[in-house]
Structure 1
């Protein structure tokens, strides 16, 4: 008669579930309050408030469809309770007596692992199932029959996705549990490994930012790979429950509810099964005597030791140099990194040996310190050409540019996306190259103190092979006497902001016209002329243009566009010098637009943040500011005709002592004739 090998023990399973019932009970209670009880509360409240049958039916269905919105919160709950379930299921591994007792049972290791693994997973999946059944009963009781399919489908999405995330996080926690013999080390390793790649990538980016001129310090290096290795981040993005609105010309006519990335959740669920299998393989070779050790697998101990040393050097080294204010000094930064690398190495050695007598491990410490020193030296001398790397124009598919350069200040920076015209791409590349060429004069810390003005330049190149390259330069000095110096940063920056094609992209009039409705216009910083109520006049008033009879705001908008096409509006000046002050008014003409919430028109205006999803037809306000100039003849003529400009109000140049049509104090020359011709009443 053949013998059977059991991989599961029902008695041990029931004992584990009974012993740790508070864990799965608490998890179930949390979800019970979040879904069925909350849903019932909404059902009762809606029935009291809405009397119309159609309105009530719509609101009840909407409440049921909102359940998957909790999936983002569910990722955090899975992260926490996955670790707690693993600590409960495999807690016997961290005590010598418990480990010896459990492994003395007449069970193979495969059966012991499988039983405990399923018990821990049941602490998460069974509450999901119970909550889903109760919620389904509530929906069937309160919702009309024609809405059952849609509501139950949304509930099924929640059940499957939440169970998938719980499977991954618990399996990953079980995998981490196999590598340690200490109960407190498990959650520490679990949290660290969940964020390790992103943290190391961020620390490397910060270190490179300190060493390499122009390397951006924000974000992390590694791109999509780093995101995939940070499951909390990517799952939170994937579990967004969105409303996809479709229709012609941006007008929503249908709404389809859907998960942001179901495939991502499925991939992580499969990864959870892989981690469970790997945990079993490690468990089969784990020594019972390792209970109490910080790292229980001998092969992993060197990885732990050198990993702690490396991360300590990067993290605390950069923090120390920043705290002491010497982050720009490469020698001091290197010294801080090496000091904390050594400290991290001996700290890890103490944890592994459970002793303070670790100085005899100096050889390994010297090796890791030497490796870190070589890394810092490679950064100091830029052995890989990071600082000087600029793509060829033929390699660039598009450019995103964010720059703070030039006046007037009617636009909040020089923000451009998807620059694809070859000539414009070459201009950006030339300016970038000039900034690198003048690096020594600009200063290694990017904070020069001797320029006539300064520019900020942040560029991201999207290359034709799909990769990206980003660089950021702040406080780059520019000089008035270099405006005509060929190839200088000042000259190339001035050429860039004079490019009318780029200026058109910055103001982006077309995006407002295509999707928006003009609702208001007003002038800022106008001067009220003397009258009976104010004999001396009044400065810095706001003049609204949307209430007077006979006003045609569309006509004003067309006048502005015509002046912009002529180059008399939207003129940029690299310096706030006399030329700029005498050729631009203090006054900005501001248009207020009403746009659909899902639209994101061009730069140059100020935007309210768009929600992830919104009801059909919801709008938001956006404004576009344009600084007026004396040469904007069509715009000024409209204002003189409809706003009382010249009879009740006047515009003032940035030279505040020179009003329209007046004589400058200390200057006997009358203002240019075109001012008087346009604005004189």
Structure 2
């Protein structure tokens, strides 16, 4: 009579838990210290403020939870299947009358049990702590279930991913390293590709494609954000599907894995070219980004970075696979040459813009909404950002005309020094629901004719020049150049009047006023309470063209202390700068001591003009300025070629 061997092997399970049960015990202890014990400590101190600051259990002791979530499931995957990586143990275990399927499933389920049971034991103890220590108002049962489900999901994912990597390699240390590298690879590779595509594709928006949506590419970056943004339904489904797919792939790998692959870096021949060329490509991008960190692009260093990175990555992969440093043979160079040829073809395709990315503009008739900004704001498909788009047809046409002008003048715009450029962002929502996003670093002076109708439009000003909508508690005026003498306004009626006047000044600005580089008379800081009752602030410039605002401050008796007046100055000194980016003298006073070509102004009318044209900050300058107050203070600033008073410029020729 044939004997039947049961699929469930109690002895095997007992052996697994005797040998590796410490992992589950450690996980339980860590989670107990991170959650229920910390809640007990806080509740015993009756720290209500801290409890209100904790939004949910996932954000509680987040560093401790994350550290062990990212390590213990990986360790479990490494240790439970370590017998596959050691020659003696792999032969011994597979000589037993136990099928491979049985070995795989038993180790897999044992690992999941010893990792998941501590999570739910911790959840149960946490529930008791919440119920018995008056913490029910702060944490609901739903919060507890949410914590348990997410921790279970991420733990199972890390474990299953490590298991699959273990099936594909024959060395435990390589399994651990590959697990973390492969989990971080989507995020890192995505970011590196964005950096290089920005260089080769005119208009590519690295900021848009590097927004918070990138965090979803790997659990290492997604988990820390779960405290404020829970997993969506589809994210949960995706993780569940990935776990089952990974476990199935691991099963297939185990069945087809040769026992002789123990101690080999890669257990399957088909993985070797993927590993080798993947490492070569990643190292090439990383080295290219490292050697291209200067604002002025130097092609020589970029080529050196790409070449050195590819060579280093290629031969490191050879050393890992051969487990030897003797890899410099003709066959290896043939593979490297083939890789180089493919990369050159790829770069040529991108550089020639074969697919028309740079010149492709959406048709105006197909545009449903448009966003334009000088600078970059996070624009994605989330509901709270939809209000930034305008559906006005005339405004869409103006923005489209500006965009079209940029594309046409690409050669001219790229030839101008980057010191004179500003970022311009375009985002279109098409009538089919898709989005087209472009971002440029271009000299705006060349584009003034196209920029003017866009920036002077009501739609642009409503999107970018709005006063804070929340109730303002107070307004503080910080005069430019004065070290003391701020003014605070608390009267609600005066605050509303000032808000109204400032909003009117913002909306009535011309393009020339909006791009004015001169320092404002002062900063108006609005203090307001956000919905969570925290006091926030927002600052606005009191520009030198805001005449109605100045008149209101004069009527209310604030003007005398709200800004710097010519009568407060003894004299103004101006020195000619040697070059626009001369920063050899970080001490402003040294700029004057080292400049033979300078002038001292004491005439009141000239001081008035000098003060009006003065700029406190600038990335570059044609003239250095020092103003001496009657109180004995020095105020340093600059003039550009556009802002320097004509009489002063003629004196310094």
Structure 1 residue aligned with 2:184? 195
The Cα offsets for residues 43-95 of structure 1, whole Å up to 9 and x where unpaired, read as: 3222xx8xxxxxxxx89997998434349654553221121000110011111
Given the alignment of the two structures, is residue 556 of structure 1 paired with residue 543 of structure 2, yes or no?
no
- Identify the structure with bigger relative contact order (alpha carbons < 8 Å, sequence gap 6+): 1
> SS where residue 252 of structure 2 aligns?
helix
Given the alignment of the two structures, is residue 477 of structure 1 paired with residue 420 of structure 2, yes or no?
no
Deviation of residue 493 (structure 1)?
A: 2.4
Contact 1:589 1:627 in 2 (8 A): yes
Root mean square deviation of aligned Cα: 4.0
2:342 to 371, 375, 380: 371
Structure 1 residue aligned with 2:34? 34
Partners of 1:171 and 1:502 in 2: CA distance: 50
Given the alignment of the two structures, is residue 86 of structure 1 paired with residue 74 of structure 2, yes or no?
no
Given the alignment of the two structures, is residue 303 of structure 1 paired with residue 274 of structure 2, yes or no?
yes
Deviation of residue 466 (structure 1)?
A: 3.6
Structure 2 residue aligned with 1:664? 605
1:507 to 445, 454, 465: 465
Partners of 2:499 and 2:528 in 1: CA distance: 15
1:109 to 85, 100, 104: 100
Deviation of residue 39 (structure 1)?
A: 2.0
The Cα offsets for residues 379-410 of structure 1, whole Å up to 9 and x where unpaired, read as: 232222233233222333333433169xxxxx
Contact 1:519 1:592 in 2 (8 A): yes
Equivalences for 1:43-122 in 2 at 5 Å?
Answer: 43-46=43-46, 66-70=56-60, 73=63, 74-122=65-113
Deviation of residue 177 (structure 1)?
A: 0.8
Structure 1 residue aligned with 2:7? 7
Contact 1:16 1:119 in 2 (8 A): yes
Structure 2 residue aligned with 1:240? 227
Structure 1 residue aligned with 2:318? 349
1:231 to 213, 216, 219: 219
> SS where residue 474 of structure 2 aligns?
strand
Unaligned runs of 5+ in 2: 377-386, 573-602, 613-653
Partners of 1:80 and 1:627 in 2: CA distance: 53
Deviation of residue 266 (structure 1)?
A: 4.4
Contact 2:425 2:438 in 1 (8 A): yes
Structure 2 residue aligned with 1:272? 243
The 3 A distance-change label for structure 1 pair 563 and 273 is: closer
More off after superposition, 35-44 vs 334-343: 334-343
1:573 to 513, 516, 519: 513
Contact 1:241 1:260 in 2 (8 A): no
Q: What TM-score results when the alignment is normalised by the length of structure 2?
A: 0.76
Contact 1:525 1:586 in 2 (8 A): yes
Partners of 2:567 and 2:250 in 1: CA distance: 71
Structure 1 residue aligned with 2:170? 181
Q: What TM-score results when the alignment is normalised by the length of structure 1?
A: 0.73
Given the alignment of the two structures, is residue 216 of structure 1 paired with residue 205 of structure 2, yes or no?
yes
Structure 2 residue aligned with 1:256? none
Partners of 1:640 and 1:148 in 2: CA distance: 52
Partners of 1:523 and 1:63 in 2: CA distance: 32
> SS where residue 469 of structure 1 aligns?
strand
Given the alignment of the two structures, is residue 425 of structure 1 paired with residue 383 of structure 2, yes or no?
no
Structure 2 residue aligned with 1:533? none
Structure 2 residue aligned with 1:163? 152
Contact 1:498 1:572 in 2 (8 A): no
Contact 2:523 2:541 in 1 (8 A): yes
The Cα offsets for residues 570-591 of structure 1, whole Å up to 9 and x where unpaired, read as: 77436648xxx7xxx9423625
Equivalences for 1:200-599 in 2 at 5 Å?
Answer: 200-218=189-207, 220=209, 229-237=217-225, 239-240=226-227, 259-319=230-290, 321-322=291-292, 328-330=297-299, 333-334=302-303, 336-355=305-324, 356-357=326-327, 358-403=329-374, 417-443=388-414, 447-448=417-418, 454-474=421-441, 476-479=442-445, 489-509=447-467, 511-512=468-469, 515-522=470-477, 524-525=479-480, 542=485, 544=487, 546=489, 552-561=494-503, 567=508, 572-573=512-513, 576=516, 586-588=520-522, 590-597=524-531
> SS where residue 203 of structure 1 aligns?
helix
Partners of 1:137 and 1:360 in 2: CA distance: 66
- How many residue pairs match? The answer is 567
> SS where residue 168 of structure 2 aligns?
coil
> SS where residue 270 of structure 2 aligns?
helix
Deviation of residue 231 (structure 1)?
A: 3.3
Contact 1:71 1:161 in 2 (8 A): no
More off after superposition, 290-299 vs 619-628: 619-628
> SS where residue 369 of structure 2 aligns?
strand
Deviation of residue 305 (structure 1)?
A: 1.9
Contact 1:205 1:219 in 2 (8 A): no
Partners of 1:45 and 1:656 in 2: CA distance: 57
Partners of 2:369 and 2:488 in 1: CA distance: 40
Partners of 1:628 and 1:314 in 2: CA distance: 45
Structure 1 residue aligned with 2:540? 625
The Cα offsets for residues 85-131 of structure 1, whole Å up to 9 and x where unpaired, read as: 00110011111111111111111001101111122222311222332
Contact 2:522 2:563 in 1 (8 A): no
The 3 A distance-change label for structure 1 pair 96 and 561 is: closer
The 3 A distance-change label for structure 1 pair 328 and 3 is: farther
Deviation of residue 193 (structure 1)?
A: 1.5
Partners of 1:383 and 1:267 in 2: CA distance: 34
Given the alignment of the two structures, is residue 25 of structure 1 paired with residue 25 of structure 2, yes or no?
yes
More off after superposition, 4-13 vs 307-316: 4-13
Partners of 2:42 and 2:563 in 1: CA distance: 58
